[in-house]
């Protein structure tokens, strides 16, 4: 059975681009006679707010969508991510990193995708146990994946995208990615991989801006013995200037469109789903 999901972060109001993504996932499940899930990715305790979580529920219901209950809130499932981290730690694939962002920015090579940030140069990878213990007394740290060891353990990896077919994963280009922080004991990469497996998601529909990150998720699936779903990376909805929609675009939030007199059918049509009947 096809199982899709829409997984927004409650850091602001949903906009027209979110509507497009949610409707894409919803229709993929509906057309296959499958299931549609809603997940709240609220691992960031600073930026994520309950008021935005409630707003997105209201907006999606107004848009005409329904989903299975209960909704999974990532913030309530820290034990699942901790267990995955422990498995990776037992494999010898994690190490603590004490570098600051400024230090990394000064030493690291730029990433091909600017949004991914610089590639970590591995400064803390080979620290001795004594050095790590000494630094831990005075400096906060994150946990990084030893990418070279992880890739050697996993071997060649592939995943399937609806538009591009079979894709050979190349997670090594991202370097030693962060999988947990002191203030946020998981990361997007780890939590989304664990969640999709635990929720039985078989088809991940999301924006093309996350296409490259799928290589990291495929690696984590292999290391943790998790199933690999199919992927469908859709184009991003853009405004008249070609800029993709973002939460800063206040005029095109679903709330503002509703307050301006738009109907759910109007907004679905604006998102490219004018023929959808809900």
Residue numbers annotated as active site? 247
d(CA 214, CA 159): 8
DSSP per-residue codes, 72-100: EEGGG-HHHHHHHHHHHHHTT-EEEE---
For residue 37, the cross-strand partners are 5
Residue pair 18/11 in contact by the 8 Å Cβ criterion: no
d(CA 162, CA 166): 9
Q: For 120, which DSSP code?
A: P
Residue 265: count other Cβ atoms within 10 Å of its Cβ: 15
3 state DSSP class of 180 = strand
């Amino acid at each position: 059975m096809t199982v899709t999901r829409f997984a927004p972060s409650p850091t602001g109001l949903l906009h027209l681009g979110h509507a497009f993504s949610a409707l894409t996932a919803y229709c993929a499940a509906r057309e296959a006679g499958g299931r549609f899930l809603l997940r709240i990715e609220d691992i960031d305790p600073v930026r994520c707010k309950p008021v935005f979580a409630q707003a997105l529920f209201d907006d999606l219901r107004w848009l005409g969508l329904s989903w299975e209950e209960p909704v999974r809130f990532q913030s309530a499932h820290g034990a699942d991510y901790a267990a995955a981290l422990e498995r990776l730690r037992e494999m010898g694939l994690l190490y603590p990193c004490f570098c600051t962002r400024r230090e990394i920015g000064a030493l690291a090579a730029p990433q091909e995708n600017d949004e991914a940030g610089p590639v970590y140069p591995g400064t803390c990878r080979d620290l001795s146990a004594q050095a790590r213990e000494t630094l831990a007394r005075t400096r906060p740290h994150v946990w990084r994946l030893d990418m070279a060891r992880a890739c050697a353990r996993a071997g060649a990896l592939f995943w399937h995208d609806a538009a591009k077919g079979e894709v050979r994963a190349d997670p090594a280009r991202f370097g030693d990615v962060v999988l947990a922080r002191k203030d946020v004991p998981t990361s997007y990469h780890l939590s989304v991989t664990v969640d999709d497996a635990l929720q039985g998601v078989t088809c991940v529909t999301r924006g093309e801006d996350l296409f490259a990150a799928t290589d990291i998720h495929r690696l984590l699936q292999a290391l943790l013995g998790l199933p690999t779903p199919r992927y469908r990376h859709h184009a991003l909805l853009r405004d008249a200037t070609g800029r993709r929609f973002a939460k800063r675009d206040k005029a095109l939030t679903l709330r503002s469109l509703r307050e301006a007199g738009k109907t759910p059918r109007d907004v679905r049509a604006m998102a490219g789903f004018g023929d959808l009947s809900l």
